[in-house]
Amino acid sequence: MENISISSITSVSDNLFKLLLDADPSKNIVQSYLKRAYKFIAIFKGAPVGIVLLIDTRPETIEIINIAVSKDYRNQGIGGKLLEYSIKWAKSKKYRVIEIGTGSTSFGQLYLYQKYGFRPVSIDRDFFVTHYPHRIIENKLVLKDMVRLQQYL
Site of interaction with ligand ACO (CB under 6 A): 22-23, 64, 66-69, 74-80, 100-102, 107-109, 111-112, 115, 140
Least separation in angstroms between residue 136's CB and ligand ACO is 11
Q: Is residue 35 exposed (0-12), middle (13-18) or buried (19+ Cβ within 10 Å)?
A: exposed
In whole angstroms, give the CA distance from residue 119 to residue 128: 21
Per residue, what are the HEC states of 82-119?
HHHHHHHHHHHCCCCEEEEEEECCCHHHHHHHHHCCCE
Least separation in angstroms between residue 63's CB and ligand ACO is 8
Nearer Cβ to ligand ACO, position 105 or 153? 105
Nearer Cβ to ligand ACO, position 40 or 101? 101
In whole angstroms, give the CA distance from residue 104 to residue 134: 17
Closest residue to ligand ACO: CB criterion: 79
Least separation in angstroms between residue 139's CB and ligand ACO is 6
Nearer Cβ to ligand ACO, position 104 or 109? 109
Nearer Cβ to ligand ACO, position 79 or 89? 79
Least separation in angstroms between residue 59's CB and ligand ACO is 21
In whole angstroms, give the CA distance from residue 136 to residue 52: 22
